[in-house]
């Protein structure tokens, strides 16, 4: 019988050790939470199964109606961690001084207290070897660097998907696919008012250097996004994605100087052509490092 008990305790201890690692391990980024939860559930289940087995064992052994056998291991455990002296033997550790009737017992430091102290020392050694010598754990600095790296990847994905494009980040895109997309959108949505070649109809001509609302990629994006509703230029933000608005705005910029037939008379202000300002070349370098 004794052997079986030892056996059950051993299994219990093993499972607790084995499964406690994911409970106490800091979730390393990218760690699988679902897996950790399953391990915890398995550990708890194993614990309860072992507990029930042990109960069955205790009760099959003798008629433990007062629960003495049942409680004995807990009592032993408490005694082991406290090593307290029973009240009857207190006079053995009574110190000989007496201050106004206040006496002092020379109690030992309880083992649980020492165990915590020794435990922290052992933990520190293991921690140092793990994090600073082998380097298998991520120290705070590495964790930070990893987070920054992930954020950069995320930002890159977002900016590639066009979600980050607005009037402050928009730029001229010099990419044939984007410009072809811009042209398609232009013909579908804009040509009715701005002419098939951007020569201008109801809306202004895009081939000249005259602009009512500004000629930079940012100005043009803003006009497209918010429209000039009072003057008949619709708002496009609800119909076109930021990416599409950037593409069609870039396409418009490429129409400059194409000199299409039947051009509408200039409207707005004459802008001195400045490629850098219009195509936003000066922020290209800045944007690259995201």
Rounded Cα distance between 232 and 212, Å, is: 13
Burial-class residue 47 by CB neighbours within 10 Å (0-12, 13-18, 19+): middle
Select the span of 12-20, 31-39, 92-100, 222-230 touching ligand HEC (CB under 6 A): 222-230
- 3-class secondary-structure state, position 269: strand
Binding test (CB under 6 A) with ligand HEC, winner from 212, 260, 281, 283: 212
User: Does 202 sit near ligand HEC (CB under 6 A)?
Assistant: yes
Judging by beta carbons within 10 Å of its beta carbon (0-12, 13-18, 19+), is residue 186 exposed, middle or buried?
Answer: buried
How far CA 48 is from CA of 10, 24, 139, 200, in Å, comes to: 14, 20, 36, 80
User: Which CB sits closer to ligand HEC, 22 or 182?
Assistant: 182
DSSP state, residue 100: T
Residue 137 in the binding site for ligand HEC (CB under 6 A)? no
The Cα–Cα gap between 95 and 138 comes to: 51
Told to check if 200 binds ligand HEC by CB under 6 A, we report no
193 binds ligand HEC (CB under 6 A): yes
CB of 34 to ligand HEC, least distance (A): 45
Q: For ligand HEC, which residue of 183, 194, 197, 225 counts as binding (CB under 6 A)? A: 194
Hey, CA dihedral for 211, 216, 217, 221, is it positive or negative?
negative
Instruction: Please identify, among the stretches 48-56, 145-153, 159-167, 210-218, the one whose residues bind ligand HEC according to the rule CB under 6 A.
Output: 210-218
Considering only 111, 234, 260, 266, the residue that binds ligand HEC (CB under 6 A) is 234
> DSSP 3-state assignment of 232?
coil
181 lines the binding site for ligand HEC (CB under 6 A)? no
Residues at the contact surface with ligand HEC, assessed by CB under 6 A: 189-190, 192-194, 202-204, 211-213, 220, 223-224, 228, 231-234, 236, 248, 252, 267-268
């Amino acid at each position: 019988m004794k052997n079986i008990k030892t056996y059950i305790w051993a299994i219990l201890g093993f499972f607790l050790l084995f499964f406690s690692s994911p409970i106490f391990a800091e979730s390393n980024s990218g760690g699988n939470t679902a897996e950790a939860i399953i391990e915890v559930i398995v550990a708890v289940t194993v614990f309860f199964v072992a507990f029930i087995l042990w109960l069955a064992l205790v009760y099959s052994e003798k008629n433990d109606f007062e629960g003495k056998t049942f409680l004995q291991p807990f009592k032993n455990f408490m005694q082991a961690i406290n090593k307290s002296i029973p009240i009857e033997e207190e006079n053995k550790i009574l110190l000989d001084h007496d201050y106004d009737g206040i006496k002092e017992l020379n109690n030992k430091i309880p083992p649980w207290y020492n165990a915590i102290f020794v435990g922290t020392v052992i933990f520190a050694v293991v921690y140092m070897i793990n994090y600073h010598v082998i380097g298998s754990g991520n120290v705070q600095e590495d964790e930070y660097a990893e987070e920054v790296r992930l954020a950069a990847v995320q930002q890159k994905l977002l900016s590639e998907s066009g979600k980050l494009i607005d009037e402050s980040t928009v730029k001229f895109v010099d990419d044939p696919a984007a410009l072809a997309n811009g042209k398609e959108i232009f013909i579908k949505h804009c040509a009715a008012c701005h002419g098939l070649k951007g020569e201008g109809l109801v809306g202004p001509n895009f081939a000249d250097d005259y602009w009512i609302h500004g000629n930079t990629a940012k100005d043009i994006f803003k006009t497209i996004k918010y429209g000039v509703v009072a003057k008949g230029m619709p708002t496009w933000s609800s119909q076109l994605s930021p990416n599409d608005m950037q593409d069609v705005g870039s396409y418009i910029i490429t129409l400059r100087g194409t000199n299409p037939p039947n051009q509408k008379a200039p409207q707005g202000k004459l802008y001195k052509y400045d490629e850098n300002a219009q195509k936003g070349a000066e922020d290209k370098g800045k944007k690259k490092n995201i």
